[in-house]
């Protein structure tokens, strides 16, 4: 099964750490990162899609994808 996540965080080191943690758990970058202004907080936010192939697991909408 292929899993998909979209990681977001403020434009600071927390975003890089979040993506680095996912890569070290076997996730792979998917597409280009995004960068957008959040008008509610007045800050910039980053986003990056990641995917991972997992064997022997059936999809369930209640699963916590970050646990894989």
Q: Which two tokens stand for residue 37?
A: 């202004």
- HSE-CB at 48 with a 13 A cutoff on CA atoms is 21
Structurally, how many domains does the chain consist of? 1
Q: Which two tokens stand for residue 44?
A: 């910039």
What is the spatial distance between Cα 23 and Cα 5, in angstroms, rounded to a whole number?
Answer: 12
Question: What does the pLDDT read at residue 3?
Answer: 96
Q: What is the pLDDT of residues 42-66, one digit of tens each?
A: 999 999 999 999 999 999 999 999 8
Give the three-state DSSP class for 49: strand
What is the spatial distance between Cα 62 and Cα 54, in angstroms, rounded to a whole number?
Answer: 16
Q: What is the pLDDT of residues 18-37, one digit of tens each?
A: 999 999 999 999 999 999 99
Domain that holds residue 35: 2-56
**Does residue 15 sit within a domain?**
yes
DSSP state of 17: H
**Does residue 29 sit within a domain?**
yes
């Amino acid at each position: 099964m292929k899993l998909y996540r979209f990681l977001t965080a403020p434009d600071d080191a927390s975003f890089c750490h979040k993506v680095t943690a996912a890569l070290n758990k076997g996730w792979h970058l998917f597409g280009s990162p995004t960068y957008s202004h959040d008008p509610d907080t007045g800050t910039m936010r980053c986003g990056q899609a990641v995917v991972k192939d997992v064997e022997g697991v059936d999809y369930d909408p209640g699963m916590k994808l970050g646990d894989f």
